[in-house]
Amino acid sequence: MNRVFRKYHRQIAIACSLPLILTVITGIGYTIFDEWFGLDDIAHFLMRIHTMKILKLDTIYPVLNGLGLIGLLVTGLSMTGLFNKRRTSENLGDKS
């Protein structure tokens, strides 16, 4: 089962890496250009890229980013072993 989650995690990570990197970079850039430097034109352009209004995807882009992150969280957490049942001495047949 761990192998299946690893496969899905890798596929989701490849598919989501570019949109997530773009979201992070434009979000940081927006803050820097708007708050620190007061360059509203550049900040507005970065916000249009950040929300994908530039490609008219502003209604679906955040949902896709969120679903990708949820998929990465679920597959990543399942691979950590936090949710595996712990073996006790009763399960192993060891009756000391």
- Mind listing the pLDDT tens digit for each residue in 37-91? 999 999 999 999 999 999 999 999 999 999 999 999 999 998 888 877 766 666 6
- Crossing angle of helices 61-80 and 2-31, in 10° steps, is 130
Instruction: Read off the pLDDT band of 4 (50, 70, 90).
Output: confident
Contact status, residue 29 vs residue 46, Cβ threshold 8 Å: yes
pTM of this prediction? 0.74
| Measured distance CA(81)–CA(21) in Å, rounded | 28
- Per-residue pLDDT of 14-32, as tens digits, reads 999 999 999 999 999 999 9
Domain boundaries, the chain: 2-80
- C-alpha to C-alpha distances, 35 to 23, 38, 41, 53, 91, nearest whole angstrom: 18, 6, 12, 21, 59
**Cα-based angle 66, 68, 71 (whole degrees, multiple of 5):** 110
Using only C-alpha atoms, what is the Rg of the chain?
21
